[in-house]
Amino acid sequence: MMSRRVFKVFRSIPTIEGAGVHLKRAFGYYQVPLFDPFLMLDDFHNTDPAKYLAGFPWHPHRGIETITYVLEGEVEHGDSMGNKGVISAGDVQWMTAGSGIIHQEMPRQSPTGTMWGFQFWANLPARQKMMPPRYRDVPAATIPEVFLESGVRVKVVSGTLSGVQGPVRDIVIDPELMDVTIPPGGEFPHAVTPGHTVVAYVVAGEGHFDEGRDPFTFDFSGSGWLDLERSCSFGPETVILYEREGEGIRVTAGEHGVRFLLLTGRPLGEPVAWQGPIVMNSREELRIAFEEFHNGTFIK
C-alpha cells in the first residue's frame, strides 16, 4: 500500500460563533476548496460555562450536512421537522439540511463545567442541495468500537474498518468518520479510497502522520515568524490534510499515544457560494435562499 504524504498542516484558530460560544476553528471558509467536500470543522472545548452556554439559537441551514460529535457535556437540540433531544458524551447528530431546516443547539451546564465536542460541515452536490431534510440521532451505544491487535481502538461512526461498518450510511459524499486512539509507539495503517480527501484532527497526545517524517515536505500554516522549529510530529488542535494520491495512511503514536479524528470523503469539484449557515453553488441561489428565509417560504 502506497501511503499518502502530508500536504498541508494547520493550527486551529480561536473564534466566537453563535450567540457567544468560544471555540477553535480547525478549518473553514478560507480553506475551500482544499478540504472539498468538507467546509468546516469547529472544536468547542471549554471549561468556562459562560463561554458556551449562550449556544446556537434558532438558525437556518440549506445545501449542507452538519455533523456534531460530543465528547463531554450535553447539547440540547431541536429543529423545524419536530426533532428534539439531547446529545450526550459519545453521541453523534448527523443532520442533512438539504432544501432547508431551522434548528438550534444549546449546550447545557456540564456537571464538571467542561463542554467538549466537534461540529463538521459537509457540502452537498448541486443535484442534491434541495433534497428533503433528514435527521439521524446516533447514540454512543450504537457506534461500534474496533480493537486492533496493536492496541489501537477505533470508534467507527461512518465507513468500514476490519469488516465493521459504522451506523451512519448512505451519505452522498461517501464519508468516513472515525475516532482513533493509538497507544504509545503503536501504529494505525488504514486504506483510503483513491481520490478522496483525507483529513486528521489531533484531539490528544502526539504522533507522526507521514512515514517520511520530513517536516519540509509540506506547508505549515499558522507558524509565527519566530517559530524556528519544524516537526513532523503533531499534537492537539492540529489539522493534517493529506495529498490526494496514495492508497492509505499510516499514523505512528508518540511516547504518550495519540487520539485523532479521521475524516474522509469524495470531493465534489463544484463552485461554492457560501454565506453564514447556507452553502449553495451560485450567488443567485444564495439570494433566493435568504429571501425565502425572510418571507417565510424557506421550509419546503
Which runs of consecutive H residues, i.e. helices, occur in the chain? 283-295
Residue 266: which of 188, 147, 174 has the closest Cα?
A: 174
Length of the chain in residues, anyone? 300
Over its length of 300 residues, how does the chain's per-residue pLDDT go in tens digits?
Answer: 688 999 999 999 999 999 999 999 999 988 989 999 999 999 999 999 999 999 999 999 999 999 999 999 999 999 999 999 999 999 999 999 999 999 999 999 888 899 999 999 999 999 999 999 998 999 999 999 999 988 999 999 999 999 999 999 999 999 999 999 999 999 999 999 999 999 999 999 999 998 877 777 887 876 666 565 677 799 999 999 999 999 999 999 999 999 999 999 999 999 999 999 999 999 999 999 999 999 999 999
β-bridge pairing 21-27 and 84-87: unpaired
Residue 237's CB is within 10 A of a number of other CB atoms, namely 19
- CB 5, CB 248: distance < 8 Å: no
Radius of gyration of the chain (CA): 19
**Greatest C-alpha distance within the chain:** 58
- CB 4, CB 199: distance < 8 Å: no
| 219 CB-side CA count, 13 A | 8
DSSP 163: T
Dihedral sign for Cα 289, 269, 221, 154, please: positive
Domains of the chain, earliest start first: 6-295 (2.60.120.10)
Whether cis (ω within 30° of 0) applies to the bond prior to 175 is no
Ramachandran sector of residue 237 (left: φ over 0; alpha: ψ -120 to 50; beta: rest): left
The C-alpha atoms of residue 276 and residue 12 are separated, in whole angstroms, by 19
Work out the burial of residue 40: count CB atoms within 10 Å of its CB; fewer than 13 is exposed, 13-18 middle, 19 or more buried: buried
Residue 194's CB is within 10 A of a number of other CB atoms, namely 10
The C-alpha atoms of residue 72 and residue 82 are separated, in whole angstroms, by 25
- CB 238, CB 11: distance < 8 Å: yes
Cα 237–chain centre separation: 12
| 73 CB-side CA count, 13 A | 27
Residue with cell 470508534: 155
Residue 211's CB is within 10 A of a number of other CB atoms, namely 17
pTM for this entry:
0.95
